[in-house]
Amino acid sequence: GAVVSQHPSRVICKSGTSVKIECRSLDFQATTMFWYRQFPKQSLMLMATSNEGSKATYEQGVEKDKFLINHASLTLSTLTVTSAHPEDSSFYICSARFEGGGNTIYFGEGSWLTVV
């Protein structure tokens, strides 16, 4: 099946710094990728839809200047958490739409972010 990979799987950063998380579709091209955030023992919350070659579409309540999304190629989307604070610590998951297979969504392995 289609594979989506995230990197890094775990990252620790200091408050005030920025951290970038990558999401790659390894064996298919994805014009649309999605970023989710998940708090412990809770469901996934959609943060934004990343569109190749255009601006991301953010969900209500998500700060676009804080969570920068770039989808520069058909296989890579990046999420940059800027000026990170401890409350940004969370599990971030990306997914990509496999348009050749009934628009099925495949998920990455997730990235744990800890801000200290």
CA distance 73 to 71: 6
* CA distance readout (Å), 51 to 76, 106, 113: 10, 16, 23
Is 53 among the residues that bind another protein (CB under 8 A)?
no
Is 112 among the residues that bind another protein (CB under 8 A)?
yes
CA distance 7 to 9: 5
Out of 24, 25, 34, 96, point to the residue binding another protein (CB under 8 A): 34
Is 11 among the residues that bind another protein (CB under 8 A)?
no
Bond preceding residue 86 cis, omega within 30 of 0: no
CA distance 116 to 113: 10
Out of 11, 44, 62, 74, point to the residue binding another protein (CB under 8 A): 44
Out of 67, 108, 113, 115, point to the residue binding another protein (CB under 8 A): 108
- Least separation in angstroms between residue 3's CB and another protein is 11
Chain contacts with another protein (rule: CB under 8 A): 4, 6, 34, 36, 41-46, 49, 60, 91, 93, 95, 102, 104-110, 112
